[in-house]
Structure 1
Amino acid sequence: MVELSLLLHIALRQWTPTECVKLDPEDNVKGIAYVSIEKAMNGKEIDSWIKLLDDNESPIKGNSKIHVKLQCFDVSKDPIWNQGIKNPNFTRVPYTYFPQRQGCKVDPTSLGGTHGTQAVEYFARSKVCCVRVSRRANGIEEATTATVFFSQHQKTVTVDCSIAWDVLVNFEQRWRNLTESASYPLRDLLDMVIPPSLVTSLDDPKTCNVQCFRSMIGADVHRFPMNPKEVDKVGLLWQRNNIIEYGVQDTYINAIRRAKNFIYIESQFFLGSCFA
C-alpha cells in the first residue's frame, strides 16, 4: 500500500459543473482520485485520504491512497473580480512572462504610416536593402518596385512605451530559437538606443497600462529558464517537463472578462491591453 500526501491550492477561473473533481496525476498514471463536487462547492476545506482508482473506478492494486487538501471559492469572492483597474491590487495578468507596463500612450485612431518611400530614400546609399512586400500571393512584380509600404491592416493602434522592448525581446527569443546567426544581441543595443521609460505621467487621465501576451511552450523560445523555481519566478508554468506560457488564455480569463474597457492588437503575434 502506497500513501501520498498532496496539498492543492487551486484557482478555478472556469468552472463547469460535473459529478466530481478529477485529480489525474501527470506522466505515469498510477491511479485517479475523485472528490465529490458537492463537497468541493460548499466552500469548506477538504482534507482527507482518497483511494486511487483505475479507469473502471475500482481500487488499484495495493489499495493506495492520496492525501488531498483543497478548498474552492466562488469567483464572485475574488476581490478584483469585475473591478477593472479600480482595484490597485490588480497589477498584471498572472502567469505571463512580460509584466504590465505603466505610463504608456495608446492611440487607437492611427493609420499604418509605414513611410516606405522615405525609408527607401534614407537607405538608398547604404548596404540596407529595402524591398516592398506584396499584398498578393502572386504579386511578384510588386516587390521589384520600392513604393509605399502597406501594413496588413491599414487601421492600426500605436502604442508608445517600454512595451516595445517586450515585443523586441519576444522577437529575439523566437528568432534565436531558429538560428543563432544574423541577430544583433539586445545587450549590445542598450548603449545605442533610448532605454525603456514612461511616456506619459501616471497622473495623466489618458495614460494606459499595457501588457504583452503570448501562448507557447519552452521549445518555441530561446533560453527559457529550466529550473522549476526560476520558471515560477518569471510567471511561467512547469507541466510534464515542459515550460508553458498561457498568456493569451489567462488574458481572456483574468482580464478581458473583468475589464470595463479594453483594446486588443492582433497581428502575427497576439498583443493586448484590457486596461485602456
Structure 2
Amino acid sequence: MGNSYGKTVQKCCACVSLEEKRKHLPGPPGIPPAESPTETLLHGILEITLNEVVASGFLKLFRKVDDLWGGVIAIVELPPVRVARTRAVKRLKRVKFEESFRVFCAHLVASINVFVYSGAVYMGTAKIPVTEELLKGKTIDGWFELAGDHEGTAKFHITLRFIQAVNDKYYNVGVAGGAFEGVTHTLFPMRKGCKVIPYQNAHIDETFSPKIKLDNGQFYTPEKGWEAVYHAMNEAKKFIYVAGWSINATIALIRDKEGKPLPGNLGETFGELLVRKANEGVTVLMLIWDDKSNNNHLLTGVMNSHDEDTFLYFRHTKVHCLLCPRKPQAKEFKLITGFIFTHHQKVVCMDAPALPSPHLAPRRVLAFQGGIDLCDGRYCYPAHPLFQHLDTLFKHDFHQGSIVGAALVHGGPREPWHDCYSRLEGEIAWDVHENFRQRWLKQAGKMREHLLVSIENREIFCPPTPVTSEDDCDTWNVQLFRSLDETSGVDFPQTQTEIFKAGLVRQAAGNVTERSIQDAYIQAIRRAKRFLYIENQYFLGSSHMWEPAVRDESCAQLIPLEIALKIASKIRAGEDFSVYVVNPLWPDGAPTSLSGQDIMLWHRKTLEMMYRIINKALQDINRAHEDMTRYLSFYCLGNREAVKPNEYIPPHPPKEGTDYYKSQQNRRFMIYCHAKIMVG
C-alpha cells in the first residue's frame, strides 16, 4: 500500500499540466489550521452531487479562458486532500456539472470545500460547513456562495449526505455476521461457487509440511505455484494471456534443486514454453509495463524490469508481446508519470478443459493472479535460502537488490522473496479475463484487436459457471478489485449515474478512475471484529493526518488511518483487537538511495500518526501506561544460515570491509516481503 511516492523524484520537464497548475494554486483564506477546535472527524462515506454554478458579473471571465484551457471544472476537497473532480464543461448561461461522487473519508475538517477553475484560473470556493445535521446523516441541499477574487456574485448548487462508518450495517460484525454480498459500488460483483488454490511463494519444497487441519478432517497440503502455472499453460489449446510488471523470458518455472536436467519439456524456460505454445496455434498475448528509463535499450533501466529484453526475445516469434507505458494517451507529456507510475498487475489467464456440466463446450477459462512477477529473483520457497543452491537452483536468476554490485560471481546472500499467488476457477476467472480484454483493447490499438480469442463461442467455451456448490467446504466467494483508470482500459462507465453506482471518481487529468482495492480494504477494516493480519511491501499513507508540520496530500490513501481508528474505537469500547503487520525492513533496492530513504521516512511518519491516535485512545480511558504494540505490531522476516558442506564458493568475493563482505560474514539477511494480503 502507498505505492505512490512521486515527491521523491524531481520534475524534469518544462511541460506542466493544467492539473499541476490547479493543484498548486491556493484556495481562499480562512480555512482553519490543522487540529483547530472547529474541526470534526468525518469518518464514513460522503455522497456529494455538484449540480451547477449560477453567477453574474464574472461569467465573462469563463468565456475568455475556457475555450483556451478546456472548460470549467470543480474539485472537491476534504482539506488538504482533493478527493474528486468533475469533467471539464463548457460555459453556457449556467455552468452545469450534475456529477455525483461517493467517497470514503476519514478526514479532520471544519468544512467541505469545492474549488472552481476555468482552465488554470482559480474562480472561487464554495465551503460547506460540517454541521450537526450533516453528521446525523441528513441530506443537505442548498446554494452555497462561491467566494473568490472576482466581480459580481456566484452560487453553487450542491447536494450532499454523510453516512457515519458506525452506521454501516456491516460495521464491526466480523466474518460471520450478516449475509455479506460483497463490496458494493464496484465494477465487478462478488462471485459465488468459485474455487481458489492459494500459493505461498513461487515454490514449496518437500520439507515444508505445516500441520493445518481442514474442516473435512484432513490436513492441508500446500501446492506449488509456478509448477501449476506451467502445467496450465502447457495444457492450453486456444489462448494464453499474460500481464506483468516485469517478465523475464529466460527463467525456468520448474527446477531441480541439484541442477539436474528435467524430463521432456519440464526444464524449458518461460519464453521457450510460450514460443512452443504459439507455434502449436495457441494465441499468446502479453502486456508488460514499459519502463521509460530504458527505452531503445539505451540503459538497463532504473527498475531493471527486463521489458526491452523480453520484447526483443519475442520480436520475431508468434508471441504478441506489447510494452505498455503508463498513461500512454495523457494529453500532457509528464515524465513523472512515464518514469515512476507503473502497471503492476500480475495476471496469467488461459483456456482449460471444461468440468463435467450440462454444457457441451469442451473449454473454460482459468486464471492465476497475485503478487509474484514471472521474473528473476522471485523463485523462492519457505526455507528462503541465502547461500544454498546458488550454483544450481538460483544459478540463472540470482537476485540481490539491496546490495549495490551484488552478483553471483561475488557470492551470496541472495535476497529471499516472500510472496503469494492464487489459482482462480469459476466465474471469477472470467472477470480476470475481462480485465485483460479491457486493457488489451485500450493499449494494443485497433490493429491488434482481432488477436483476442472470442470466448462467446458456445461450441468451444462454456459460459461463466460456478464450479462448486454453496455447501461444499471448498467453495469460495471471490471478488475482483483493481486500481485502474480509463487511460488503461475500455468499457469504463461514462454516464454520471453509472460512474456513481460503480464508486468511480475523476482524478488527475479528469480520467474516470477505479480504486476498488482501497475501497475493499477500507470496508474490510471497518467490518473487522477481533484482528487484522497484513503483509505488504509498503506501509505508508494517510499523510493528511501526519504531524501538522509535514502533513499534506502526497500519500493520502486511508488504510493506515482506518486501522488506527478501528483500534482506537475498540480500546474505548473495552474490546480486544490486535493488528499484525509484516513488512520488509526497507524497500527493494539500496537502503541508502534517495527513494529508499524517503519511503522509510514516510513509513515512520505513518507509524507515528497511528501510534499517536492509539495513545490518545488509551489516555481517554486512563490506560496510557499500556504497551501500544499489544494493539499494533510490525514485523520483518529474516533468515540466518550456517555454513554447509559443498556450499558455492564465489570466484570473486567482495572487498573486505564492505557491506557485501559483512553480510557474508554475518550470514544473515532480511526476507523481502512482497505480498499484498490482509486477513481479518
User: Which amino acid is 1:34 matched to?
Assistant: K
Three-state SS of the structure 2 residue aligned to 1:97 is coil
Residues 177/68 of structure 1: CA separation in 2 closer, same or farther (3 Å cut): closer
**SS where residue 32 of structure 1 aligns?**
strand
CA distance in 2, matches of 1:175, 1:262: 36
Counterparts of 1:179-218 in structure 2, within 5 Å, are 179=444, 180-181=447-448, 183-218=451-486
How far apart are the structure 1 equivalents of 2:533 and 2:517? 14
Q: Which residue of 1 aligns with 2:515?
A: 246
Change (3 A) 1:11 1:227: closer
CA deviation profile, 1:43-81 (whole Å, cap 9, x unmatched):
263444321112xxx6x4212222444342321011122
- For residues 148 and 200 of structure 1, the distance between their equivalents in structure 2, rounded to whole angstroms, comes to 34
Q: SS of the residue aligned with 2:249? A: coil
Q: Distance in 1 between matches of 2:677 and 2:193?
A: 13
- Tell me what 2:154 maps to: 64
For this pair of structures, how many residues does the alignment match? Answer: 250
* 1:111 paired residue among 213, 218, 224: 224
Look up the match of 1:23.
114
State the alpha-carbon separation in 2 of the partners of residues 158 and 265 from structure 1: 19
Q: 1:201 to 1:103 in 2, by over 3 A?
A: same
Structure 1 distance, partners of 2:473, 2:197, is: 14
State the one-letter code of the partner of 2:156. Answer: I
**Cα gap change, 1:163 to 1:275, in 2 (>3 Å):** farther
For 2:434, the equivalent position in structure 1 comes to 169
Deviates further, 7-16 or 63-72: 7-16
Alignment pair present for 1:37 and 2:138: no
1:20 Cα deviation (Å)?
1.6
CA distance in 2, matches of 1:6, 1:40: 25
Deviation string 1:122-181 (CA, Å, 9 cap, x unpaired) is 79xxxx9xxx93349xxxxxxxx9716675456633332211111111112112223242
Identify if the C-alpha distance between structure 1 residues 30 and 71 changes in structure 2 by more than 3 Å, giving closer, same or farther: same
Aligned to 1:141: none
| Residue 267 of structure 2 is aligned to residue 147 of structure 1 | yes
Q: Distance in 2 between matches of 1:61 and 1:95?
A: 41
SS at structure 2 position matched to 1:64: strand
In structure 2, distance between residues paired with 1:228 and 1:42 = 26
> Aligned pair in 2 of structure 1 residues 218, 209: CA closer, same or farther (>3 Å)?
same
> Match of 2:123, as an amino acid?
K
Partner residue, 1:139: none
Distance 1:102 1:6, change over 3 A: same
* Aligned sequence identity (%): 27
How many Å apart are 1:216 and its aligned residue? Answer: 1.3
* Residue in 2 that maps onto 1:134: 250
User: Bigger CA drift: 207-216 or 186-195?
Assistant: 186-195
Q: Closer, same or farther in 2 for the Cα pair 1:72/1:188, shift >3 Å?
A: closer
1:53 paired residue number: 147
Counterpart CA distance in 2 for 1:177 and 1:6 is: 27
Q: Which amino acid aligns with 1:247?
A: S
* Counterpart contact for 1:163–1:210, Cα < 8 Å: yes
TM-score normalised per structure 2: 0.31
Q: What SS does the aligned partner of 2:451 have?
A: coil
Residues 17-44 of structure 1: CA distance to partner in whole angstroms, max 9, x if unpaired?
1222112347655321112234466426
Whichever residue aligns with residue 181 of structure 2, its letter is T
In structure 1, stretches of 5+ residues that fail to align are 137-144
Shift in alpha-carbon separation, 1:106–1:263, aligned structure 2, 3 A: farther
Q: Deviations over 1:1-30 (max 9, x none)?
A: 729899997755322112221123476553
TM-score by length of 1: 0.69
- Which residue number in structure 1 is paired with residue 575 of structure 2? none
Q: Which residue does 1:99 correspond to in 2?
A: 189
Gapped runs of 5+ residues in structure 2?
1-53, 57-93, 199-221, 241-247, 253-264, 271-373, 381-419, 537-674
Higher Cα Rg: structure 1 or 2?
Answer: 2
Q: Could you tell me how far apart the structure 1 residues matched to 2:534 and 2:182 are?
A: 15
Choose from 45, 55, 63 the match for 1:2. Answer: 55
Aligned to 2:171: 81
Which amino acid is 1:194 matched to?
Answer: C
